[in-house]
Amino acid sequence: MKAILLFVFTFIVSSCCGTNKVIDNQPQQTKEIVAATELPNTIETAVIRESLQFPKEDNSVQISLSEDGTVSDDGISITTEVIYTEAFDHSIFNALLKKHVSKNGNVDYKGFKNDSKTLQNYIDLLKTYEPKDDWSKEDKLAYWINAYNALTVDLILRNYPTKSIKDIKDPWDQRLWQFGNNWQNLNAIEHDILRKMDEPRIHFAIVCASVSCPKLQNEAFTASNLEAQLTNATKEFLADTSKNQLSKDNIKISKIFKWFKKDFEQNGSLIGFLNQYATVAISESAKKSYTDYNWDLND
C-alpha cells in the first residue's frame, strides 16, 4: 500500500523572522518599515525586496503515514524532508556585504554610505526582533555576530571619513542603538553577550573595522551554516601571515590571543586551540610573541 504523505506546515510568523514556534503578540512591523523607507535602487537584487514584502513559509516536515492515518512503524520515513528556517532573516545584510566588502575583507564605506538607508532598515529589524529564549544557540550567535558587525559599520558611517575607529571618541562604549528597553554599545554585545556564549571563534567573526582585525566576511552569518563559517573564519585568520606567523617551535600571533587568552583556554591550552585550525603542528613548548596591532581603517 502506498503511504499517504502528510505535509505539516507551521504558522508564518513574519516577513523577517520565522521561528519554529508562533511568537504571541509580535507586531508585524516589517511591512511598515518598508513602506516608510523605500529601498534605494543601488541594491541590485530582488531578493531583498521579496524578503521584506512577502512572508516566508516556515519549517515544513514530510511524514510517512500508514493506510489508517497513523504514523508508520518506522516513525518518520527515510523520505522525510526537514527544512530548517532561520529564526532571523539576515538576507538584507548579506546583500550589503556581498556588494560592499571584497573577498579580502576590504570595506567600501563610501558605497555603504550610499546604501545607508538599507543598512538602517536591517538595524531597525534587529532592534524590533531581538532573540527569544527558545531560539537555538546558533540563531542567537548569528544574530549577535551580525548585529555587532552591522553596528560597527554604522558607527564608522556616522563618523566617516575617519582614518581609524580609534579616532572616534569612546567607539566601543557609545550607546547609540536601542534594543527594546536597553541602549546597546559594542562592548556590551561583545563582552556581556557573545563571550558568555562560550564560543571563542566569535573573535574571528566580529570585526572592529581595523586592518589587524579578522577580515569582515562578505556574507552574513547564519545559524544553519554557522559551524562552517566560524571554522572558515578562524582558519583564514590563522593563515594570514600579516597577522600570524606559525611554525613548530616559534609563533608570532595576533594580540587577540593575548587580550582574550582565557576564552581560548576553556578546553585546553592556547596551543591546543591553535592546532585545531592551523596548517602546521605547533609544539606546546613553542616560543611565543605578538604582532603589532594596526588600527587603520579596513578600507
Residue 139 belongs to a domain: yes
Domain span holding position 283: 91-290
Domain count, the chain: 1
Residue 49 belongs to a domain: no
Residue 46 belongs to a domain: no
* Of 141, 226, 153, residue with least CA distance to 190: 141
- 25-83 per-position pLDDT tens digit: 444 444 444 434 444 554 544 455 445 444 444 443 343 444 444 444 555 544 445 55
Residue 64 belongs to a domain: no
The answer, yes or no, to whether the previous bond of 27 is cis (omega within 30 of 0) is no
* Of 158, 3, 11, 7, residue with least CA distance to 67: 3
Lowest mean pLDDT among 13-17, 46-50, 182-186, 190-194: 13-17
Task: Detail the DSSP E strand segments found in the chain.
Answer: 4-9, 60-65, 177-179, 182-184, 245-246, 250-253, 287-290
- 266-286 per-position pLDDT tens digit: 999 999 999 999 999 999 999
- 88-132 per-position pLDDT tens digit: 999 999 999 999 999 999 999 999 999 999 999 999 999 999 999
CA angle (298 as vertex; 155, 107 as ends), nearest 5: 75
Query: Are the CB atoms for 37 and 121 separated by under 8 Å?
Result: yes
Lowest mean pLDDT among 39-43, 207-211, 239-243: 39-43
